[in-house]
């Protein structure tokens, strides 16, 4: 079994949290040696780490530092980490690509041989445990409720010329986003970059959207909160029109909906993300929607079909042009979209578990397009 080393905080580094089950905002050290998991940490967090982490052993940095000092040896943080590794027979370790360069150089000087393992660093993260799928499913349910809240605001709004009005004021992307984010906070979730993009804004997939929401135009909602408790994400997109969409916009929506069905039906353990993406892209081309460059920007379907989902919002495996084999138990998004300035943008996104024989869709929110 490989020896592994991570030095990072576990609030932002998902490998660290997955390996240790311990949450801390400051960097600490995890290593696997001889098949056992170790956590090396300072006095302040030692007691909490003993209670909350899932590793085999929690080691105290000051004990190792004091032992080195008593032998009149250097006892800087790199010395302590190197000594902890040597004591446990791990002088050769794999580290993630994000490992701190300065620390790597210092450990190398102290006889620790480091090799970089490309992402995914912890291969077990690809296949989700039942508890992880439950966490993601809960995140999806909360997300669906927030989307329902947004849809209710659209439903209650009135069309006044070229804008939507709610309680006498223009309904804006900023107002709807704030209401959704407040809902998330009340339910133990955090969301920062929720996309509510109307009209031509929706033709840029990562435009957050701003200003008044317009009637008869597509409004893309891309909603991806993270649980403040479990740290797992959801990622769900729906597209609505308040009023009457044009026939061209209706056809656009129908093509994306059908392409999403193709993507989901193509999933099963052993297929590649590339093959799923190719089928989705072919479905949109067959429907008459070409991807090309116009006036310096791309139109059509110019992003991947999906990505892995879990402790990170974007994690392996990918469902795109270079996507590899999909193992059973992985959770991926299926999110085709079409974008044509002047007509509008449409994106639909579900969170799906890949199974041995097919897929299980965790997303239940209906794909209703028109809100009267």
pLDDT at 77: 97
Query: Where are the domain boundaries for CATH 3.90.230.10 in the chain?
Result: 127-371
Query: Where are the domain boundaries for CATH 3.40.350.10 in the chain?
Result: 4-125
CB atoms within 10 A of CB 101: 8
pLDDT at 296: 84
State the pTM of this model: 0.95
pLDDT tens for the chain, 372 residues: list them.
Answer: 799 999 999 999 999 999 999 999 999 999 999 999 999 999 999 999 999 999 999 999 999 999 999 999 999 999 999 999 999 999 999 999 999 999 999 999 999 999 999 888 999 999 999 999 999 999 999 999 999 999 999 999 999 999 999 999 999 999 999 999 999 999 999 999 999 999 999 999 999 999 999 999 999 999 999 999 999 999 999 999 999 999 999 999 999 999 999 999 999 999 999 999 999 999 999 999 999 999 888 999 999 999 999 999 999 999 999 999 999 999 999 999 999 999 999 999 999 999 999 999 999 999 999 999
pLDDT at 314: 97
pLDDT at 222: 98
Q: Which CATH architecture has domain 4-125?
A: 3-Layer(aba) Sandwich (3.40)
pLDDT at 356: 97
Question: 16: closest CA among 34, 40, 35?
Answer: 40
pLDDT at 239: 98
SS3 per-residue string spanning the chain: CCCEEEEECCCCCHHHHHHHCCCCCCCEEEEEECCEEEEEECHHHHHHHHHHCCCCEEEEHHHHHHHHHHCCCCCCHHHHHHHHHHHCCCCEEEEECCCCHHHHHHHHHCCCEEEEECCCCCHHHHCCCHHHHHHHHHHHHHHHHHHHHHHHHHHHCEEECCEEEECCEECEHHHHHHHHHHHHHHCCEECCCCEEEEHHHHHCCCCCCCCECCCCCEEEEEECCEECCCCCECCEEEEEEECCCCHHHHHHHHHHHHHHHHHHHHCCCCCEHHHHHHHHHHHHHHCCCCCEEECCEEEECCCCCEEECCCCCCEEEEECCCCCECCCCCEEEECCEEEECCCEEEECEEEEEECCCCEEECCCCCCCCEEC
- CA dihedral (170, 173, 176, 181) positive or negative: negative
- Domain 127-371 CATH assignment equals 3.90.230.10: yes
């Amino acid at each position: 079994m490989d020896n592994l080393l991570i030095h990072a905080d576990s609030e932002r580094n998902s490998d660290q949290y997955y390996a240790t089950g311990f949450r801390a905002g400051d960097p600490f050290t995890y290593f696997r040696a001889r098949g056992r998991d170790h956590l090396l940490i300072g006095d302040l967090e030692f007691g909490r780490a003993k209670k909350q982490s899932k590793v085999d052993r929690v080691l105290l940095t000051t004990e190792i530092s004091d032992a080195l000092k008593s032998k009149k040896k250097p006892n800087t943080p790199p010395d302590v980490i190197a000594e902890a590794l040597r004591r446990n027979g791990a002088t050769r370790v794999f580290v993630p690509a994000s490992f701190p360069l300065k620390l790597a150089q210092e450990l190398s000087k102290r006889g620790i041989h480091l090799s970089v393992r490309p992402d995914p660093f912890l291969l077990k993260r690809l296949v989700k445990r039942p508890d992880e799928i439950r966490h993601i499913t809960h995140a999806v349910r909360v997300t669906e409720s927030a989307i329902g809240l947004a849809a209710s605001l659209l439903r209650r709004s009135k069309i006044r010329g070229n804008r939507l009005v709610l309680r006498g004021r223009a309904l804006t992307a900023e107002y709807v986003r704030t209401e959704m984010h407040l809902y998330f906070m009340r339910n133990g979730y955090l969301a920062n970059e929720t996309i509510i993009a109307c009209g031509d804004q929706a033709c840029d997939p990562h435009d957050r959207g701003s200003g008044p929401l317009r009637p008869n135009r597509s409004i893309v909602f891309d909603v991806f909160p993270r649980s403040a408790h479990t740290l797992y994400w959801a990622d769900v997109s729906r597209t609505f029109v308040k009023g009457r969409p044009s026939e061209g916009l209706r056809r656009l929506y129908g093509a994306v909906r059908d392409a999403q069905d193709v993507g989901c039906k193509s999933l099963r353990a052993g297929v590649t993300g590339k093959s799923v993406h190719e089928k989705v892209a072919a479905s949109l081309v067959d429907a008459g929607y070409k991807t090309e460059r116009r006036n310096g920007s791309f139109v059509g379907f110019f992003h991947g079909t999906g990505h892995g989902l879990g402790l990170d919002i974007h994690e392996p495996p990918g469902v795109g042009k270079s996507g590899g084999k999909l193992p059973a138990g992985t959770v991926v998004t299926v999110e085709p979209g079409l974008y044509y300035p002047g007509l509008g943008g449409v994106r639909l996104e579900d969170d799906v578990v890949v199974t041995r024989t097919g897929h299980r869709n965790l997303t239940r929110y209906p794909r209703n397009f028109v809100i009267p």
